[in-house]
Each structure stands twice: as C-alpha cells, then as structure tokens.
Chains A and B, each alone.
Chain A
Amino acid sequence: LFLLFTVTVNALEGKDCRESVRLIAESANLSEEQLAFLISGMYTLLREALRLPLSTFKQEVSSGSTWNPDKVKAAIPEDFIVDFSSVVFGNRRPTSEGTALIQRSRLPSIQDLKWRVDVAISTSSLARALQPSILMMMKLSDGTAHRFEVPVAKFQELRYNVALILKEMNDLEKRSILKIQD
C-alpha cells in the first residue's frame, strides 16, 4: 500500500510513474481493477487536499475526515493517515504545488527570443535604401517557432507597450484590490 502511495505522490509531482506502477502490479496480489481503484482513489484524495489552501486545514485528520466526506467510505488505515498528513502538510507539499502550477491551463509563452538588426543597403526598388529593420525569431512553449520582421516604428511601439505592461503589473500587485482572503 505504501508503494502505491509513493507512486501517487510522484504522479502529483509530475514524474513518470508507469514503470513503478507496473512493478507494483506484478509484485502485489491485486487485480488490475483493484489497483486502478486504489491509485485513482489516492490520487484524487491527495489532489483535493493539495487544492485547498494550507490555512484551511487542521493538523488532525481522522478516517472520517471532515474535508472529504465522500471518502469516508474508504477505510483509511490509521498509520496511513500519518503518511497522508506528511504529504499534505509537510516538506513535500511545495513540490506537488509547484507541479500543479506548471500543469495548469494556459496560453503558450515565449521560451526563447532571438533577434537581428538588418540594414538594407540597396534593393530592386531603391538604389539607396539604408533602412534598418529588426528580425525576430520567437520560440514558444508549445513548440512552435515564429519568424517575423519588425519595422523601426513598430519596434518603438512594441517597446513602449511592453514597458507599459510591466508598469501595469507592478501597480496591480501593489494595489491588490482583489486580494481574496480566507
């Protein structure tokens, strides 16, 4: 049982557990169905626990725990409670929380940005161009890459906007009007 527990915690921390699960399945006398039941039960239990902010908890968690009335049916052995509590309240919590933060629904973000300033000296339409232009290569977190040109005027606009965004974010943090307190 403890092995299953370890595996579940690892899963919450974003690690690949297929190998571990397979080993458990082979060594224990559990049918696939029972195994699946146990793992999903533990996963949901822990996930729900991690979902609620730390401050709402009391350290004592009993088998008929108040924060998860549905799980009352699942008879959780006493010694197990200790392990559960240690994950929810103890040192490993930040790791699980960290993973949850990363895996949430989000739009792609910029992973890498490379740039280059080109100056066109002469073109087929202009004998004397001397026009600087910025070339950008953006790699996003979803794996796509985008290459595009930014004329000087647009670049200034871009720079102004980004500075404005940063200022807005700073202001927002300072104000924190919407700080939802428990």
Chain B
Amino acid sequence: MAAPEPQPEGSRSLSALLSGIAQAAFHGNADITEELLRDQLYPEAPPEEFRALRAKMGGLLQSIASADMDLNQLEAFLTAQTKKQGGITPDQAAVIAKFWKNHRTQIHESLVSQSRWDHGLKNMSWRVDLKSQLRHIDQINTPVAIVEMELGKNGQESEFLCLEFDEAKVSQMLKKLSEIEESMTLLTQAT
C-alpha cells in the first residue's frame, strides 16, 4: 500500500467483515447474520448503509471465489472496480486483496467439497500380519495385509471398511492405481 492508511480501524473492520461474509457464504456458518456483523463491526453505521456495504463486498467476494482468481486476475479485477462509479476505494481494494491471498485455498476447498455428494475416502490405515496357524491347517507362513478404509460424507458418520489382501491382491491394486495415475497425468497435460 503506497498511501498511508487514513483509517486503520476501517481496514480492520473491513477485513473482519470479509471474514464474516466468507464464513456465512462459503463455510455455511448460519450464525453470522447481518445484524451480528453490523453490531460487532460497524455499530455507528446506519442499517441501510451497512447493508449496501455488505452487499457490495459480498458480491465482490463471490465473483473472486467463483472464478478462483489468481493474483494477476485479482489485481486486474480490483483495479477495474476502483475505477467504476460507486466502486471501491484503493484502500478497500488492498484489504480485499490481502484477505483473498490469505483465505483463497481454504475457501476454494470449501467450495469444491460442496459439490461432493458421494462417500469419499477420508483415511486409510493398515498393518501386515504373518499368518502362522489356522484351525484347519497347522502351519502356513504367508503375509497378509489388513486395511481399514474410512468412507464418509460431510457431516455424516463415517463407514469403516475392513479388508484383507494377500500379496497378489496388493500387487493387482498397485497396478490399477498406476493406471489411474497415468490417466490423470495425461489429463492434466492436456488441460
């Protein structure tokens, strides 16, 4: 920021406002209402003025998040906004830029997960056992892998799958995963 901040308080409030908006819009936090934000951050502002500010900031954040803007795009976008009639001030642009730099990954992740409706693989743990004795056969010495996979959806209880693999199956699995990896590499090269 080239110019000295005329209102350090304003920047802090704006930053907090952006956080609040992000929480409500992207992370699904229903407790953060307009009322709450106004009371906490801009208590002296008249309601309509605050509403307008919130709407403007919300709209900007929405555009930025939806397009998942990188820094170049962001700079261009914000500069354009400062030049508009009824747009934002350079200081406000600076605050927004700083906010997006810090929260981009988090917000993006949140938005991506909003389009995931199937069970997802959350975690896996495993161990390798050596089977030495069984009821029917007295002596075998084969390694066997026990794998536990956690499958779950957002906000729901996970399902735990317990599976057994012998060496051949592990090998098969690895081969399949390699095929997937190859397929993905081709994809990312093409885009």
Q: Which residues from chain A sit less than 8 Å from chain B, CB to CB?
A: 47, 50-53, 97, 100-101, 103-110, 113, 115, 117, 119-120, 123-136, 140, 146-152, 154-155, 157-159, 161-163, 165-166, 168-170, 172-173, 176, 178-180, 182
Contact B165–A149 (Cβ < 8 Å): no
Q: Chain A at the B interface: mostly helix, strand, loop or mixed? A: mixed
Q: A107-B146, A154-B121 are in contact. Are A123 and B115 (CB under 8 A)?
A: yes
Contact B136–A50 (Cβ < 8 Å): yes
Q: How far is the CB of A151 from chain B (nearest CB, A)?
A: 7
Contact B114–A172 (Cβ < 8 Å): no
Contact A124–B115 (Cβ < 8 Å): yes
Q: How far is the CB of B177 from chain A (nearest CB, A)?
A: 5
Q: How far is the CB of A58 from chain B (nearest CB, A)?
A: 17
Instruction: Kindly identify which residue among B112, B121, B128, B180 contacts A131, using a CB–CB cutoff of 8 Å.
Output: B112
Which residue in chain A gives the minimum CB-CB distance to B110? A125
Q: Which of B126-183 contact A (CB under 8 A)?
A: 126, 128, 130, 132, 134-141, 143, 145-147, 151, 161-167, 169-171, 173-174, 176-178, 180-181, 183
Q: Which residues from chain B sit less than 8 Å from chain A, CB to CB?
A: 26, 65-68, 108, 111-112, 114-116, 118-122, 124, 126, 128, 130, 132, 134-141, 143, 145-147, 151, 161-167, 169-171, 173-174, 176-178, 180-181, 183-184, 187-188, 191
* CB-defined contacts of B165 to chain A, threshold 8 Å: 109-110, 165
Q: A47-B136, A125-B115 are in contact. Are A109 and B163 (CB under 8 A)?
A: yes
Ranked 5 nearest A-B pairs via Cβ:
A100-B136, A107-B164, A123-B115, A125-B111, A148-B119
Give the distance in Å from the alpha carbon of A136 to the alpha carbon of B167 in the complex: 21
Contact B138–A53 (Cβ < 8 Å): yes
Give the distance in Å from the alpha carbon of A148 to the alpha carbon of B130 in the complex: 30
Give the distance in Å from the alpha carbon of A157 to the alpha carbon of B112 in the complex: 19
Contact B132–A172 (Cβ < 8 Å): no
Give the distance in Å from the alpha carbon of A129 to the alpha carbon of B85 in the complex: 31
Q: A115-B176, A169-B167 are in contact. Are A129 and B112 (CB under 8 A)?
A: yes
